[in-house]
């Protein structure tokens, strides 16, 4: 069942783009390239399990007997890697819609394009840097069929203790950004993408248009210091982003810094990153940095999918 559901999930958003005249029909060719290897692995696994379970060979009968006799002990000490059966750890390889950055160093495998989007807990940042008591999981924010979710990781650049923007780059030479520049780029590109590409643009004109792009800003703090009678006053603050609607660039705090870690984005003195999550919850593109050049790279990636798939 998991195989069939993920097959459908992989194909439907691609069909939606093609049927709405938003992408070249060649986009559909990526379905077989991504899902056929998964189906092949499942068939091999099922065949091996069937052979072991029903074969009359002596060796296989012994294996079945041992498994039956010691199953209760076996499961106590052996853990199946998370996602093995549910197939949530599958990575799609590089293709027309899973594009590694052309010039930046390729990250470790767990952070590369094609991986399924990692989950983690966030809290909303309100005006004046106050944080909401209500927690939300990232996977709750990226729900909804047919929508690209663009995650803007800002490392600790939005901290009230962050270095002034006069410090132009990080130690890798990646350009830094601040609230004003981030807001400007966010609003410019989100408006451009939504006005240029939208469902119902050519067919299904009577249907209510669904946002094709949502943006979520995720900030963090370097390790804080607290103790008896002392609370570290550090906080992230970007009132112009805190007041935005969900999907329009609303600001969240990665309080435990786990999400930054799971996406391979350094927090302390980092330059952030932009991660594009495909509508089927896999990473399509990533770029280190959250300044103008990074936004330009994301724009180029999206243009390669919409109407211009080679």
Neighbours of 98 (CB within 10 A): 21
> In this structure, is residue 95 part of a structural domain?
no
pLDDT of residue 224: 62
* Unique residue bearing structure tokens 């896999």: 282
Q: Is the dihedral of CA 14, 15, 18, 19 positive or negative?
A: negative
> In this structure, is residue 214 part of a structural domain?
yes
pLDDT of residue 307: 74
pLDDT of residue 77: 47
Same structural domain for residues 59 and 171? no
Q: How many domains does the chain have?
A: 2
Q: SS3 for 305?
A: helix
- Where do the H-state alpha helices sit in 78-204? 138-141, 179-196
Residue ending a domain, among 57, 77, 97, is: 77
pLDDT of residue 287: 98
Q: Which burial class, exposed, middle or buried, applies to 5 when counting CB atoms under 10 A from its CB (0-12, 13-18, 19+)? A: exposed
Residue ending a domain, among 77, 98, 133, is: 77
Same structural domain for residues 150 and 252? yes
Task: List the domain range (segments joined by +) for residue 42.
Answer: 2-77
Same structural domain for residues 158 and 58? no
Eight-class DSSP state of 260: H
Same structural domain for residues 273 and 171? yes
| CATH number where 245 lies | 3.40.30.10
Same structural domain for residues 131 and 215? yes
pLDDT of residue 48: 56
For residues 53 and 64, is the Cβ–Cβ distance under 8 A?
yes
Same structural domain for residues 63 and 131? no
Write out 222-248 in H/E/C secondary structure. CCCCCECCECCCCCECCHHHHCCCCCE
What pTM value is reported for the model?
0.84
pLDDT of residue 42: 61
> In this structure, is residue 142 part of a structural domain?
yes
pLDDT of residue 222: 85
Same structural domain for residues 240 and 187? yes
Residue ending a domain, among 61, 77, 93, is: 77
From the first residue on, what is the mean pLDDT of each consecutive set of 10 residues in the chain (310 residues)?
Answer: 78 94 94 79 58 58 62 50 59 95 94 96 96 95 92 95 70 90 98 92 54 96 64 80 97 97 95 97 98 97 83
């Amino acid at each position: 069942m998991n195989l069939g559901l993920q097959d459908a999930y992989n194909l439907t958003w691609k069909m939606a783009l093609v049927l709405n005249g938003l992408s070249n029909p060649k986009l559909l060719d990526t379905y077989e390239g991504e899902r056929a290897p998964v189906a092949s692995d499942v068939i091999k696994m099922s065949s091996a399990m069937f052979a072991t379970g029903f074969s009359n060979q002596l060796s296989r009968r012994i294996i079945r007997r041992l498994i039956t006799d010691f199953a209760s002990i076996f499961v106590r000490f052996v853990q199946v890697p998370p996602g093995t059966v549910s197939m949530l750890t599958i990575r799609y390889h590089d293709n027309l819609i899973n594009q590694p950055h052309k010039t930046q160093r390729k990250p470790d495998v767990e952070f590369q394009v094609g991986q399924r989007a990692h989950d983690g807990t966030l809290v909303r940042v309100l005006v004046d840097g106050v944080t909401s008591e209500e927690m939300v999981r990232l996977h709750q924010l990226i729900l909804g069929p047919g929508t690209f979710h663009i995650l803007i990781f800002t490392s600790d650049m939005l901290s009230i203790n962050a270095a002034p923007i006069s410090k132009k780059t990080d130690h890798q030479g990646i350009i830094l950004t601040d609230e004003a520049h981030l807001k400007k780029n966010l609003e410019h590109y989100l408006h451009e993408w939504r006005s240029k590409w939208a469902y119902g643009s050519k067919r299904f004109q009577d249907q209510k248009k669904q946002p094709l792009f949502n943006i979520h800003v995720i900030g963090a703090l370097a390790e804080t210091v607290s103790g008896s009678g002392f609370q570290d006053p550090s906080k992230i603050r970007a009132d112009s982003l805190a007041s935005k609607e969900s999907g329009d660039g609303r600001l969240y705090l990665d309080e435990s810094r786990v999400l930054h870690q799971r996406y391979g984005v350094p927090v302390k003195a980092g330059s952030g990153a932009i991660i594009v999550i495909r509508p089927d919850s896999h990473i399509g593109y990533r770029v280190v940095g959250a300044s103008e050049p990074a936004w330009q790279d994301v724009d180029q990636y999206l243009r390669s999918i919409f109407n211009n798939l080679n």
